[in-house]
Amino acid sequence: MLRPRFSLITLILLITAFSLLTVSTLKAGAEEAKPVAGQEPQKALEAPVTAQPPQKTGEAAPAPSQGTEQKGKAPKIVLEETLFNFGEMHQETKSTHIFKIKNTGDADLEIKDIKTSCGCTAAMVSKNIILPGETGDLNVIFSSKRFQGEVTRQITLVTNDPANETSVIKIKALVKALLEVNPAYLNFGRITEAKSQTMDVKLKNMTNEVMTLDSITSENKDITIGKYDKDLNPGLGVTIPVTYTSSVKPERPGVAGSIVIQIKGSNEKVLIPFSLQIVGEVQLKPKNLSFNVVKKGETPAKVITIENRGEKEVTILGAKYDSNLIETDAKFPLSIKPGDSSKISITLSSKVAEGKFKGQIEFQTDNPKYPAVSAQILGVLKNKEQQGQQQQPPEK
């Protein structure tokens, strides 16, 4: 029993000694913390606080400063001129003008892109970055090419100016042709097969020297160039007859091409485009007669015109058509004089079935070249319920 009692007494003594040591240490620390006479007590170190303006009630607190961000700074593009007129220019010549671009802002102005409205205009800047207060050059070159008369083109600058991201510059010129052509485009219109059509072309020398016309030709064998004086004095002109004689059939009605004028001493050629339409002696207009969309129960009427473009009178002997599709009250035979026409009313039949419909009407004539001419008939017939369903808005 002596061993357990000895251990308990030892533990009590150790605890008492530890407590006395702790109390002694705390008293010593308190004595050191007392201020010395005549010396101010030390204050704890505090982080510096930046002064902030008073915050209004309900106002969000200001965002902390980003340090390197330059708030409120932006570039500003200023163009000394936005329009320049080159004045009179001859064809196939070039002119240059320099536009000044100034940055009146307080940040760098960046020229991101330059766009021109025509391949005849080239534009280049002296530098892509223009510092605040500095000026850059925009060099614009305009080529008159084969233009004739007043020409206007534009250049668009794309920059980082937040208030004006795109700036437009315009240039103008009055292009004087070396050789003035009137008309500049020949439209012979509708020519009946095997017939001829003549148009006059007026050429005028716009230079200060004698001009010699080397040749006037066309790749189209049906074009004939009349006689003309090859030497043109300054400011004077000549009239040249141009004739087209039809040799193609109406199955290929569209004809287009160019007349080429070669000037002596010049590598450039003057082109005069032309077009025409070949038609037969007996013509129907229109060749496609459309009734579009028709409501059931309606019987709309359309008109077909028969033209006689031949030199002899033509007689319409009769007409073939589907009576379940269309009807006509025309009386046959019907005579049409040369250069004259006749209108025939075509009414949609009440027997037409619902849906898309298509057919034709054919007229028989006494013309040996055109014993029959025809037109297509087409459209759509819908009942009222179908149309109402199409007009209703989709359900949400």
| Residue 291 tokens, joined | 């009734």
Please report, for the chain, the start and end positions of each structural domain, with discontinuous segments joined by +. 77-176, 179-279, 282-385
Classify burial at 50, counting beta carbons within 10 Å of its beta carbon; exposed 0-12, middle 13-18, buried 19 or more: exposed
Fill in the DSSP letter of residue 257.
E
Give every strand in the sheet of 314-320, ordered side by side.
288-295, 372-382, 355-365, 314-320, 334-336
CATH placement of domain 282-385? 2.60.40.10
Of 180, 176, 159, give the one whose Cα is nearest residue 168: 159
pLDDT digits (tens, 9 = 90+) for 37-68: 444 444 443 444 444 445 444 444 444 443 33
What topology is assigned to 179-279 in CATH?
A: Immunoglobulin-like (2.60.40)
Secondary structure (3-state) at 111: strand
pLDDT digits (tens, 9 = 90+) for 266-301: 877 888 999 998 888 999 999 899 999 999 889 999
Contact 278, 191 (CB under 8 A): yes
pLDDT digits (tens, 9 = 90+) for 194-207: 889 999 999 999 88
Fold match between 179-279 and 282-385?
Answer: yes
Tokens 């009386």 map to which residue?
331
pTM for this one? 0.51
- pLDDT for residue 142 is more than 50: yes
**Dihedrals phi, psi of 385, to nearest 5 degrees:** -65, -40
pLDDT digits (tens, 9 = 90+) for 362-391: 999 999 988 999 999 999 999 866 555 555
The pLDDT value recorded for residue 137 is 96
Distance of alpha carbon 375 from alpha carbon 360, whole angstroms: 6
Of 160, 245, 250, give the one whose Cα is nearest residue 195: 245
pLDDT band at 31 (very low <50, low <70, confident <90, very high): low
User: Which are the contacts of 286, defined by CB distance < 8 A and separation ≥ 6?
Assistant: 304, 375
pLDDT band at 396 (very low <50, low <70, confident <90, very high): very low
Distance of alpha carbon 361 from alpha carbon 319, whole angstroms: 7
Chain-centre distance for alpha carbon 9: 106
Using the Cα atoms of residue 7, residue 10, residue 11 and residue 12 in order, give the sign of their dihedral. positive
Distance of alpha carbon 216 from alpha carbon 203, whole angstroms: 11
Distance of alpha carbon 180 from alpha carbon 204, whole angstroms: 5
Q: Which CATH superfamily is domain 77-176 in?
A: Immunoglobulins (2.60.40.10)
Distance of alpha carbon 214 from alpha carbon 290, whole angstroms: 52
Classify burial at 216, counting beta carbons within 10 Å of its beta carbon; exposed 0-12, middle 13-18, buried 19 or more: buried
